[in-house]
Chain A
Amino acid sequence: MSRFSVPNIKISGIAACVPKDKESNTDYDWITEKEQNLLIKTTGIEERRIARKGTTTSDLCYAATEKLLRELNWNKEEIGILIFVSQSRDYFLPATAIILQDRLQLTPTTIAFDISLGCSGYVYGLSVISSLMQTTQTKKALLMAGDISSTSLNKRDKSTYPLFGDAGTVTALELTTENQHMDFDLKSDGSGYEAIIIPDGGLRNPITPDSFVEREIEKGIWRCNRDLKLDGLAVFNFSITKVHPQIEHLLSESGKETTDINYFVFHQANKLILETIRKKLKIEPEQVPYSLLKYGNTSSASIPLTIVTELKNEVETQKLSMLFCGFGVGLSWGTVILELDKIKCPEIIEFS
């Protein structure tokens, strides 16, 4: 069963934090100027934010959370769950969410744990936190999502380096009696696990000196086994065949048409993928916001980041019907339909 509905949970606020340092793809001198122009035109990515050495994903999420909690005026003692969705955790162990419980001075009664997912992670995180809130009748909870991907990229790999940016986000959720519900559809296909992978460093391939030896894979693509590897064709094919049927199915199961949805907020993979999906769904460009241009692919942060940077005014002042869809590393993909009703959405925070 991959489709289900969680009643009586609402999103009360979303905040995002990015590193202050920008890197532009027009300065990416590993490729020619012509290649830069084609890259920017095709992927839609002009600029990315890069964390300084020592900055962690949890630092970005922490800054976003302190800001959002102040705006929401929440009492920290009321928060009962903290989930941290990331593939760039502070330590191999313990889980980063537990460290954040103490750093944020939440009570020891807080349920805190990590979820290791990337592109689909925000939607999966929403499903887990809302279900757990419902089961435990927890009134308030925090979902953090984000990654610092830049440390896993090889500058001499044109197939990954210019695509990814760093970001951390937080989403505040509450139990509600306002008849709001979230409809989910979640799927997995582990046969594609090698499409996006960091091969060495886990237990399957422990680190050896060879893990750091850079090899030329093809022209313009050098990397070692500790770097992120991305099979662009496989990911592209997966994205344009699996995503739109899931969305169409969930819409029809929820009794909705594409015109009933104000905004489709997609994981910001790249423009070519998203435009192909948009055309398949026959939805208007105005319904599909992009944060790619200034922030690139920010992994599990990309959906909340796009809301903060592109829809701040709309989500703060209106009641909106939204569809979020995340897809990628795993392979894993998930879609949720929910309402946002005048939520708190502070300006994006810059971390230095």
Chain B
Amino acid sequence: MDIDGFIKKVEAEIEDLEPGTLTADKDYREIEQWSSMYALILIAMIDTEYGVTLTGEDLKKTYTLRDLYHTIQSKL
């Protein structure tokens, strides 16, 4: 897995988001479309794509997509 591929997968999950909009250091909760529903959507995507199940606690400790990426990597 690489971070660019991960960001593309996140972008694909978010409604009405142009590809290439997100960066690794983006605070994902500040994405305009963000709502609590996306926490579940991201956990589902990460589980299906990487076989890693993140908890609510894991999410709370992350801010940027890079944090999220590192958390996934640490659990691979």
**Which A residues are within 8 Å of any B CB, using their own CB?**
34-35, 37-39, 41-42, 159, 218, 231-234, 236-237, 240-241, 272-273, 275-276, 279-280
Q: Chain B: interface secondary structure?
A: helix
Kindly state whether residue B36 has any CB partner on chain A within 8 Å: yes
From A42, A240, A273, contact of B37 by CB (8 A): A42
Q: Which residues of A contact B59 (CB under 8 A)?
A: 233
Q: Is the CB of A233 within 8 A of B56?
A: yes
Q: Is the CB of A42 within 8 A of B48?
A: no
State the interface size on chain B (CB cutoff 8 A).
16
Pairs across A and B, CB under 8 Å, 25 listed: A37-B15, A38-B15, A39-B37, A41-B15, A42-B41, A159-B36, A218-B36, A231-B56, A232-B36, A232-B40, A233-B43, A233-B56, A233-B59, A234-B56, A236-B40, A237-B43, A237-B53, A237-B55, A240-B53, A272-B40, A272-B44, A275-B44, A276-B47, A279-B48, A280-B48
Kindly state whether residue B39 has any CB partner on chain A within 8 Å: yes
Besides A233-B40, A276-B48, 20 other A-B contacts (C-beta < 8 A): A35-B35, A37-B15, A38-B15, A42-B41, A159-B36, A218-B36, A231-B56, A233-B39, A236-B43, A236-B44, A237-B53, A237-B55, A237-B56, A240-B44, A241-B53, A272-B40, A272-B41, A272-B44, A276-B47, A280-B47
Q: Which residues of B contact A276 (CB under 8 A)?
A: 44, 47-48
